[in-house]
A and B are shown apart, each in its own frame.
Chain A
Amino acid sequence: MKKFEFNIHKGQIEKFFPKERIKTKAQIIEILMESLQLILQNNTIPEEKIGGTITLVVERMSRLFFTSKKDKKIYSIVFPFFIERIDNSFVVKLQKFEYLDYIESENNNFIEIDYQLISNVLSFIKCDNFKEQCSLDFIVPIDEYEQYDKNFWIFLRELLLMEDGYIRYDYDEKNYKKALENGEQHLHPLNHYDLFYSSNATFKIGLLDEISSNDVIEFLNIRKECQYLVNFSNIKDKNVQKNNV
Chain B
Amino acid sequence: MKEHSLFYSHIEENDYNKEAIKKIRDYSIQNPNEQIYLVNSPLGEKKYKYDYQEKAIILLSPKHKIIFLNLDYNLQDEFEEFVDEFIEDLGSISDKYNYKQFIGRPKKWKNELIVKESANNEFDVKLLFDKYKIEDKNLRRKNELIISLITGSINDIKNITLEEPDTILEKIKNKIILFDGEQTRFIYKILNKKIVYIQGLSGTGKTELLLHKLREIYVNTDNTKIFFTCHNVALANTLRQRVPEFFDFMKVEKQIEWNKRLWVNHAWGSVSNKNSGFYSYICDFYNIPFSRWSKTTSYKDIFKKALEEIEKILDEEFEYAFDYILIDESQDFPKEFFQLCEKVAKEKVFVAGDIFQDIFEANIEDRVANVDFVLNRCYRTDPRTLMFAHSIGMGLFEEKKLNWLSDIEWNASGYIIKRNDKKICLYREPIRRFEDLEIENYKSMIIQKLETYEQILDIIENIKQNNPTLKPDDIAIINIEDGKGVYEFFNNLEFMIMDRFEWKVNKAYETKEKIKDMVFLTNKNNVKGLEFPFVLCIGDKIKDSYKYRNTLYTMLTRSFLQSYLLLLDDYKIKEQEKGLEIIQKNKCIRTTEPTDEEKQEIKRTIIKLKEEKNISFDEFLTQIFNELKIDSKCRKEFLKALPDKLRVFEKEPIIEFIKINKKYYC
Chain A residues in the interface with B (C-beta under 8 A): 9, 11-12, 37, 40-41, 43, 49, 114-116, 118-119, 122-123, 126-128, 132-134, 136-137, 147-149
Contact = CB atoms under 8 A, between A and B. Distances in A.
Given A115-B491, A123-B509, 9 more contacts: A41-B491, A116-B484, A122-B510, A126-B510, A133-B273, A134-B270, A136-B270, A137-B270, A147-B647
A contacts with B: majority SS? helix
B512 A123 contact: yes
A108 B401 CA distance: 45
B502 interface: yes
Given A9-B495, A12-B498, A147-B617, A114 B510 contact: no
A119 B510 contact: yes
Interface residues of B, number: 27
A126 B512 contact: yes
Contact of B644 (A9, A41, A148): A148
Contacts of B504: 11
A119 B498 contact: no
B507 interface: yes
A134 B272 contact: yes
B507 A119 contact: yes
Contact of B512 (A114, A127, A147): A127
B contacts with A: majority SS? helix
Most buried by B among A115, A128, A148: A115
B249 interface: no
B487 A116 contact: yes
A226 B595 CA distance: 84
Contacts of A122: 507, 510
A9 B491 CA distance: 13
B271 interface: yes
Nearest to A118: B487
Contact of A119 (B487, B492, B502, B617): B487
A133 B499 contact: no
Contact of A123 (B271, B292, B498, B510): B510
Contacts of A133: 270, 272-273
Contacts of A147: 617, 647
Given A37-B491, A41-B492, A126-B511, A134 B271 contact: yes
A128 B233 contact: yes
A41 B270 contact: no
Contacts of B495: 9, 41, 43
Contact of B498 (A11, A127, A134, A148): A11
A11 to B, nearest CB: 4
B488 interface: yes
29 contacts: A9-B498, A9-B499, A11-B499, A11-B504, A37-B491, A40-B491, A43-B495, A49-B499, A114-B487, A115-B487, A115-B488, A115-B490, A116-B487, A116-B644, A118-B487, A119-B487, A119-B509, A122-B507, A123-B509, A123-B512, A126-B512, A127-B512, A128-B233, A132-B270, A133-B270, A137-B270, A137-B271, A147-B617, A149-B644
Interface string B601-629: 00000000000000001000000000000
Contacts of A114: 484, 487-488
State the 5 A-B residue pairs at the shortest beta-carbon distance, nearest first: A115-B487, A11-B498, A133-B272, A122-B510, A137-B270
Nearest to B496: A43
Contacts of B502: 11
B491 A136 contact: no
A92 B426 CA distance: 54
B63 to A, nearest CB: 47
B645 to A, nearest CB: 10
Contacts of B644: 116, 148-149
Contacts of B272: 132-134, 137
Most buried by B among A12, A49, A137: A137
Contacts of A115: 484, 487-488, 490-491
Interface in B254-297: 270-273, 292
A132 B237 CA distance: 15
Nearest to A149: B644
Nearest to A124: B510
A132 B273 CA distance: 10
A240 to B, nearest CB: 44
Contacts of B484: 114-116
Interface string B479-509: 0000010111011100100110010100101
